Amino acid sequence: MLDRIRENTRAAALLAEVFDFDVTRLEPVEPVRLASDGELRTVAGDASGGTFFVCDDGPVLYAGSEGGAGIVAADLHAVIRLVVGVPTWHDVVSDAPDVKAMHASFESSYAELKSDEPRIGQFRSEVTAELGLGQVAVEDLLASLSRCLTELSPGYLLLNENGDAYDPL
């Protein structure tokens, strides 16, 4: 998937500029490691200083610049579907595991995003088509995010260079 993104300059640009998933931003705010000493590979960053990591060639962990971290997707394909399908995903994580509350938060934050960027729907469709992602319902994306945050995250504790654990997202 990363190769497909890097080869598709339009999709890479939209992911970075519109969906805040920049595959050229690979420096985390600080050195980190998994408590399990598992593999942690940086795959993208966002404008706020957050970093997306693939853990042990599987789930994707997001580490925010303010000390919060958690698994947000089961794999790299799923995280791309998440950031494109739920571009305001940051605004819904605090409502997990309540998927209905997550959906309400999404509706509110997405309406605000649409007023700021009226072409967001077009951009979502374009990236989905460019990368061959297929359509996934927002409800399914939110349910998956909720499962990742509540069921997978506890097994992937992120530590900073001093050994202090990041807070759950």
Q: What is the pLDDT of residues 72-131, one digit of tens each?
A: 999 999 999 999 999 999 999 999 999 999 999 999 999 999 999 999 999 999 999 999
Strand-pairing partners, residue 168, are 69
Q: Tokens standing for 50?
A: 């957050």
| pLDDT range class, residue 134, cuts 50, 70, 90 | confident
Q: Which domain holds residue 40?
A: 2-168
Report pLDDT for 149: 98
- Answer left, alpha or beta for residue 22, where phi above 0 means left and psi between -120 and 50 means alpha: beta
Q: Which residue's entry shows tokens 């060639």?
A: 57
pLDDT, averaged across the chain: 96
Q: Is the preceding omega at residue 59 within 30 degrees of 0, hence cis?
A: no
**pTM score, whole prediction:** 0.95
Angle at 58 between CA 143 and CA 150, to 5 degrees: 35
Our count of domains for the chain comes to 1
User: Are the C-beta atoms of residues 116 and 34 closer than 8 Å to each other?
Assistant: no
